[in-house]
Amino acid sequence: MSTPHEIPSYLTPRDIGPWGVYLEQIDRVTPYLGSLARWVETLKRPKRILIVDVPIERDDGSIAHFEGYRVQHNTSRGPGKGGVRFHQDVTLSEVMALSAWMTVKNAAVNVPYGGAKGGIRVDPKTLSQGELQRMTRRYTSEINIIIGPNKDIPAPDVNTNEKVMAWMMDTYSMNMGSTVSGVVTGKPISLGGSLGRQEATGRGVYVVGCEAAAKRGLEIKGARVAIQGFGNVGGVAARLFAEAGAKVVAVQDHVTTVMRDSGIDIPALQKHVAEHGSVDGFKGAELVRDRNSFWEVDCDILIPAALEQQISEVNANKIRASIILEGANGPTTPAADDILNEKGVLVVPDVIANAGGVTVSYFEWVQDFSSFFWTEDEINQRLTRIMREAFSAVWQLAQEKEVSLRTAAFIVACTRVLQAREMRGLYP
Ligand code: GLU
């Protein structure tokens, strides 16, 4: 990190982690913000942080406690919006950074939200369905005081899905005394969910991937694609690229890596993962135990679609792809950004590349308010249009200012957020 950052009293230097990455990104955009730079400190301080204890009774009668968070980074442009993550490595620094990236993402694609994120430090694989439900409901009750359809709207993220959203919606509604479907997005269709929401993030990655490939003169048909993460983002992106004739040559998940030079049969891999919970043991590809070799694979498009800080100064130099599509949030460190820019790799940043999810969340929220539901075609068309427009605006600005797509996306987004901040003025 180039400049030392002020560490909030509730974080230690040791756990600054992803929040430090985000602060560095803000430092890099500040020189481009003109007179709005006066307000930039706003972006370096989350508006509101809630840390909650989530106790549950385990199936064996014992009591377990989990640490939960909800961070509302910014609400200048609208209510907080962002997912809830269940993962054993969740920290406050991580949730702060993820909430801030939501602020930037929502502004970059111009949906009328601020940014928020939540999480519980838990490995959900160690919980029974009953325990998972009790934990989700207790967490929802604990953060009940700050969420709501006009305040802050959670959604799925790593290890959470439509079932978890149904429990959250039900718990909030029970506490309120009436059904409030707009309090979360990513719900089952039967509860006011939106068609196309589940695959929206992966679809968005694919749409901007096609735009980026066109800029680089790369044909999708026959292009070699490597994907880290085979969940709701990586899995869908893999399928769409494969359907368009690309060869998915490597897939890495939390357990292992599979590779096949002539292209992996994605529907077959999806079936295997649905049955076994991982790509491990898949017969249709070579199993590669050394996790690091994934980054060196011969490919045109690399899609990190798992967790933060995967591409750092350690592996950035080994990457052979000419395009990186950030399906994950925060997968590339600033040091790695410098190396990749130097090498001429086109990095489509998370705040554009994975914004398809929250875009269709926005459609879901609008449909819930009006109780009028759209067809899947309408949704995918609108999604595609928003993603293309956002990509093209950021591309143009990057050319004009001679900056990376990340810096350009941050210029667009931070300008929108800080303009709103300035127009609203400080209270009192
Ligand atoms: N968790 C997703 C993200 O990181 C979606 C958030 C949402 O739909 O609110 O963008």
pLDDT digits (tens, 9 = 90+) for 121-172: 999 999 999 999 999 999 999 999 999 999 999 999 999 999 999 999 999 9
pLDDT at 4: 73
Q: For residue 399, what are the contacts with CB-CB under 8 A and spacing of at least 6?
A: none
Confidence of residue 3 (pLDDT cuts 50, 70, 90): low
Tell how far the Cα of 285 is from the centroid of ligand 1, in angstroms. 31
User: Is residue 361 in contact with ligand 1, taking CB distance under 6 Å?
Assistant: yes
Q: How much is the average pLDDT of 270-277? A: 98
Annotation marks residue 47 as catalytic: no
Q: Which of ligand 1's atoms lies nearest the C-alpha of 358?
A: 8
185 lines ligand 1 (CB under 6 A): yes
Residue-wise pLDDT for 249-266, tens only, equals 999 999 999 999 999 999
Q: So where are the chain's domains?
A: 45-179, 200-353
- Residue 300 to residue 213: CA distance in whole angstroms: 9
Is the shortest distance between the CB of 81 and ligand 1 below 6 Å? yes
Same CATH fold assignment for domains 45-179 and 200-353: yes
Q: Does residue 14 surpass a pLDDT of 80?
A: no
Residue 1 has pLDDT above 50, yes or no: no
Enter the pTM of the model.
0.97
pLDDT of residue 292: 96
Tokens for 178?
A: 């009436």
Residue 131: predicted pLDDT: 98
Position 410 pLDDT exceeds 50: yes
The architecture CATH gives domain 200-353: 3-Layer(aba) Sandwich (3.40)
- The Cα–Cα gap between 104 and 120 comes to 23
pLDDT at 2 over 70: no
What tens digit of pLDDT does each residue of 300-352 get?
A: 999 999 999 999 999 999 999 999 999 999 999 999 999 999 999 999 999 99
Atom nearest to 105 CA in ligand 1:
10
- Nearest residue to 360 via CA among 198, 144, 152: 198
What's the 293 CA to ligand 1 centre distance in angstroms? Answer: 30
Residue 176, C-beta contacts closer than 8 angstroms, at least 6 positions apart = none
Residue 8 banded pLDDT, cuts 50, 70, 90: confident
| Ligand 1 atom index nearest CA of 113 | 9
User: CATH for 45-179, among 3.40.50.2300, 3.40.50.80, 3.40.50.11270, 3.40.50.10860?
Assistant: 3.40.50.10860
Q: Which of 86, 106, 157 to mutate to test the pocket of ligand 1 (most atoms within 8 A of CB)?
A: 157
What is the layout of strands, in order, in the sheet containing 152-156? 48-57, 63-74, 115-121, 80-87, 152-156
For ligand 1, say whether the CB of 232 is within 6 Å of any of its atoms.
no
The per-residue pLDDT for range 47-102, each reduced to its tens digit, is 999 999 999 999 999 999 999 999 999 999 999 999 999 999 999 999 999 999 99
The whole-angstrom separation of Cα 101 and Cα 24 is: 13
Atom of ligand 1 nearest to the CA of 354: 10
How much distance in Å is there from the Cα of 71 to the middle of ligand 1?
A: 14
Catalytic one among 117, 221, 283, 343?
117
CA distance 135 to 146: 18
